[in-house]
Chains A and B, each alone.
Chain A
Amino acid sequence: METFQQLLMGFHVAATPFNLLLCFLGCVIGTIIGALPGIGPAAGLSILLPLTFGMNPTSGMIMMAGLYCGTMYGGTITSVLINVPGEAASVMTCLDGYQMAMQGRAGKALGIAAIGSFIAGTASVVFLMLLALPMVKFALSFGPPEYFALMLMGLCTVAGLTSGSVLKALAGTCLGILVATPGMDAFSGLPRLTFGLTGLLGGIDFVVVAVGLFGIGEVLYNVEQSMEMKFLIEKISIKEVWPNRAEWRASVGPITRGTLIGFLVGVLPGAGGTIATFLSYAVEKRVSKHPEQFGKGAIEGVAAPEAANNASTGGAMVPLLTLGIPGSGTTAIMLGALMMYGLQPGPLLFLKNPDFVWGVIASMYIGNVMLVIMNMACIPLFVKICKIPNYFLMPFVIVFATVGVYSVDGNIFDVWMLYVFGVMGYFMNKFGMPRAPVLLAVVLGPMVERALRQSLILSQGSYDIFFTRPISAVLLMMGLAAVLWPVFDMIWQRRRARRMAGA
């Protein structure tokens, strides 16, 4: 009951006209930033940060929370319409979202994404409110061995995600790990595989790989195809954006599971939304009655990762607000902002500045309401992008991709890397190599490496540490199952085929 009262107080703080306006502005800017390929929430926040310094901490944070939620919605738009993930967490949305767009169901894809995001975002705020303190204990029980097991399980499920050949997916995963290797070694501080290039010292940014492989790669691929319209034109009204009864029934499960997975994984510092999105996708593919439709425009394949993605924002706020520990790059910037406002993020923030904490929580809730209304209303407008002929749209994609990538670190080297990955994306497309595993491995590779090396230092070289700890042992078993499943599946199907041929 006390929590409820505090939430009411939070709404009281958040619902002043000025704060509502800031929240709205944050949502609008966030949607635009999320929709521009290459500029994600972290870059968006850094741009916004100086603007908020004149405000009081609560107002500033409300605007940033709005922007954070907005980018999550915005990232979906480009993923679905032009197959360019705006940030790591929307890679999985591309797989089925873009296919749906090609089949003329872009409105439906964006609709279910917005609704799923709303439900998940709202639920995660409720979870944050009710479960923040017990969840912290769960998050802290994760040491390096547990992280290693979780990330490894993530890498193992990657192969099962895509619809094509498992071997090609595994090859893609290895390629991704390779791409993530150059840069400064996180343990010795020494450069690794940099070939004397200053540009490689900071490593290859995820955004460069994502926008290159998907965005530029897609443009190059399309040049070969007919320059005529490739999308089926759909007539769109708001009514058609709203899912029908069958689509509802298909999406309720994925959204619920996506929300739970997203919140749980979002709570773990460092794991963040990306792992949540593809774990939830993998789960849906496994429980689905028609897994063969995944990757070919299954609505569940959009609903689940979008829900997980948005639920992780609430999860990521748990360690930030209760411990002062940022769960992701984006929340790290928010943490920096808190300190610049003169607030001490830490265990006492809830006690010392309750109006601030609950104001921000309430504004996340309000932001989600604003975003779903805004998005549902604008989807017919967004979908018009599909009607732009390719010979106009494709050059724009290249321009936005180039500008977006340059803006990440202001480094021209990144732009050249972007084009290299673009050419690579083109060939991967031609050879039927799935591109999502590469991206996921780029995100996970460094985390796996770090957790593995930390664990082995802690255990002084013994691998027992992974099996003697219950959480990591269970996670590793699940990872093993994920690897073996497709193999058994293949053997079983071959045997059945042989039996059929024999009979």
Chain B
Amino acid sequence: MQFNVRSIRVITLSVLVLSVLALAPPAFGAASFVPTRPIEFVCPSAAGGGLARFSETVGSIMESEKFVPVAMPRIYKPGGGFAVAMAYISEKKGNPHFLMSTSGPFVLTPLTVTLSGKKTITHKDLTMIGIMGFDEVVMVVKNDAPWKDMKELLAAAKAKPKSLRFGGSYVGSPDSLVVASIAKAAGVEFLYVPFQGGGEMNAALLGGHIDIMSSSPSDMMPHVEAKTMRMLAVAADKRIPRFKDMPTLKEIGCDLVRRTHRGIAAPPGISAEAVAYYENAARKVTETGAFKKYLDDGIMTPVFMGSTQASKFLDEYADVALNTMRDLGMGKK
């Protein structure tokens, strides 16, 4: 009997141990990754820009709220439309102490840029952690421009092809694709003038050297308030709450939605535990008041997509963009 009791005990114990062993690894595993040294948080564009603001905000929230137990210094590696930073991160294969912030060019640059003798690093080569917000794209004209709304402007553009000068970033940039899509959807032709940086372009619009440009609502806010510029339409799926009077492109007959994401990516080949860890940290950041204020100040649309969902979103974005680029006669086959 005693033996029996003992054997029952042994069996119970071993079942317990086994079940613990069976259950524990995932449970322990999820917690098993914790960064042990400072995380290099790479910003692929220059200090002072929109993505730099995102990087500073996310980095400082992660540090101050202790979402990561280590420092997260922001490192600026601008150049090559993100290609420099992406190459840098891809070289850190499997190292979970590197992160980078991402936006449109993260997907678009690899579609056009090849470095001879090198494999092109695409968004698929890096590990997407999550998407944390959308920056909308608005069409802006000078306040005293002759067109009352986007419809009038498109009609004017149609009446006289290539008469309207549309300012934007380099051909192949997120905003250039928006312009190309509008032109295609409305059947018009613009004179597209690339500028380097928003400052130069704002000055050109105010000086009357271009007629219309695309920009983000937050950059336009002060000009709209001061009544020096007017926003005509937004390329979002519904109207921006703060600008209820501004129609979407969809409403005026251009069926397209284009927005720039703000997200985080990591080097290729990092463990599933590390991905889960950062995904969780990023989610927690989006739930803080400081981040909500950042989105609200920047008139951005809140969203959270985890690793899988974000990768899928970017893949779809890449497909749409590639089609537009082929229409423009660029992009790789």
Closest Cβ–Cβ distance, residue B285 to chain A (whole Å): 16
Closest Cβ–Cβ distance, residue B140 to chain A (whole Å): 13
| Assembly CA distance A144 to B115 (angstroms) | 31
Given A191-B115, A324-B222, CB of A454 within 8 Å of CB of B195: yes
Q: Which of B9-17, B49-57, B144-152 contacts A (4 or more CB under 8 A)?
A: B49-57
Given A183-B79, A326-B199, CB of A143 within 8 Å of CB of B209: yes
| Assembly CA distance A305 to B206 (angstroms) | 31
Q: Which of B81-89, B237-245, B254-262, B304-312 contacts A (4 or more CB under 8 A)?
A: B81-89
Check A346 against B223 for contact (C-beta < 8 Å). yes
Check B225 against A346 for contact (C-beta < 8 Å). yes
- Whether A450 is near chain B, meaning CB under 8 Å from some CB there, is yes
- Whether A46 is near chain B, meaning CB under 8 Å from some CB there, is yes
Closest Cβ–Cβ distance, residue B290 to chain A (whole Å): 11
| Assembly CA distance A185 to B172 (angstroms) | 11
Check A185 against B209 for contact (C-beta < 8 Å). no
Given A196-B117, A335-B48, A346-B225, CB of A340 within 8 Å of CB of B77: no
Partner of B80, one of A50, A198, A344: A198
Given A46-B76, A336-B53, CB of A349 within 8 Å of CB of B191: no
| Assembly CA distance A197 to B114 (angstroms) | 11
Q: Residue of B at shortest CB range from A339?
A: B53
Q: Which of A101-109, A134-142, A160-168, A280-288 contacts B (4 or more CB under 8 A)?
A: A134-142
- Whether A348 is near chain B, meaning CB under 8 Å from some CB there, is yes
- Whether B248 is near chain A, meaning CB under 8 Å from some CB there, is no
Check A460 against B202 for contact (C-beta < 8 Å). no
Check B191 against A336 for contact (C-beta < 8 Å). no
Partner of B60, one of A53, A190, A411: A53
| Assembly CA distance A340 to B297 (angstroms) | 10
Partner of B199, one of A50, A185, A325, A411: A325
Partner of A189, one of B76, B170, B202, B297: B170
Closest Cβ–Cβ distance, residue B257 to chain A (whole Å): 23
Check A324 against B202 for contact (C-beta < 8 Å). yes
Number of A residues, CB within 8 Å of B: 62
Q: Contact flags (1/0) for B118-140 with A, using CB distance below 8 Å?
A: 10000000000000000000000
Check A202 against B171 for contact (C-beta < 8 Å). no
- Whether A392 is near chain B, meaning CB under 8 Å from some CB there, is no
- Whether A389 is near chain B, meaning CB under 8 Å from some CB there, is no
- Whether B192 is near chain A, meaning CB under 8 Å from some CB there, is yes
| Chain B residues whose CB sits within 8 angstroms of the CB of A189 once the complex forms | 81, 109, 112-113, 170-173
Check A344 against B204 for contact (C-beta < 8 Å). no
Check A454 against B80 for contact (C-beta < 8 Å). no
| Assembly CA distance A142 to B207 (angstroms) | 7
| Chain A residues whose CB sits within 8 angstroms of the CB of B87 once the complex forms | 198
| Assembly CA distance A325 to B215 (angstroms) | 14
Q: Contact flags (1/0) for A386-424 with B, using CB distance below 8 Å?
A: 000000000000000000000001110000000000000
- Whether A269 is near chain B, meaning CB under 8 Å from some CB there, is yes
Q: Residue of B at shortest CB range from A319?
A: B203
Check A409 against B78 for contact (C-beta < 8 Å). yes
Closest Cβ–Cβ distance, residue A134 to chain B (whole Å): 15
Sorting the interface of chain B by its residue count into under 10, 10 to 19, 20 to 34 or 35 or more gives 35 or more
Check B47 against A46 for contact (C-beta < 8 Å). yes
- Whether B196 is near chain A, meaning CB under 8 Å from some CB there, is yes
| Chain B residues whose CB sits within 8 angstroms of the CB of A342 once the complex forms | 297
Check A323 against B202 for contact (C-beta < 8 Å). yes
| Chain A residues whose CB sits within 8 angstroms of the CB of B60 once the complex forms | 50, 53
| Assembly CA distance A326 to B173 (angstroms) | 21
Partner of B222, one of A140, A195, A344, A460: A344
Counting chain B CB atoms within 10 Å of each CB, which of A50, A324, A346, A347 scores highest?
A346
- Whether A49 is near chain B, meaning CB under 8 Å from some CB there, is yes
Check B170 against A186 for contact (C-beta < 8 Å). yes
Which residues from 207 to 227 on chain B have a C-beta closer than 8 Å to any C-beta of chain A? 207-210, 218, 221-223, 225-226
- Whether B162 is near chain A, meaning CB under 8 Å from some CB there, is yes
- Whether A201 is near chain B, meaning CB under 8 Å from some CB there, is yes
| Assembly CA distance A201 to B44 (angstroms) | 12
Q: Contact flags (1/0) for A326-363 with B, using CB distance below 8 Å?
A: 11010011111101101011111100000000000000
| Assembly CA distance A327 to B203 (angstroms) | 10
- Whether B75 is near chain A, meaning CB under 8 Å from some CB there, is yes
| Assembly CA distance A129 to B171 (angstroms) | 39
Partner of B193, one of A42, A49, A329, A458: A458
Given A336-B48, A346-B225, CB of A201 within 8 Å of CB of B202: no
| Chain A residues whose CB sits within 8 angstroms of the CB of B221 once the complex forms | 344, 346
Q: List 7 A-B contacts (CB under 8 A).
A: A184-B83, A188-B112, A325-B203, A334-B48, A346-B223, A450-B196, A458-B191
| Assembly CA distance A203 to B330 (angstroms) | 23
Q: Residue of B at shortest CB range from A205?
A: B79
Closest Cβ–Cβ distance, residue A387 to chain B (whole Å): 38
Closest Cβ–Cβ distance, residue A165 to chain B (whole Å): 34
- Whether A503 is near chain B, meaning CB under 8 Å from some CB there, is no
- Whether B165 is near chain A, meaning CB under 8 Å from some CB there, is yes
Q: Assuming A144-B209, A184-B113, what are 8 further A-B pairs, CB within 8 angstroms?
A: A46-B47, A188-B112, A201-B80, A269-B199, A323-B206, A326-B48, A454-B194, A458-B210
Check A345 against B203 for contact (C-beta < 8 Å). no
Counting chain A CB atoms within 10 Å of each CB, which of B77, B208, B222 scores highest?
B222
| Chain B residues whose CB sits within 8 angstroms of the CB of A460 once the complex forms | 162, 191
| Chain A residues whose CB sits within 8 angstroms of the CB of B194 once the complex forms | 186-187, 453-454, 457
Given A346-B226, A409-B78, CB of A185 within 8 Å of CB of B49: no
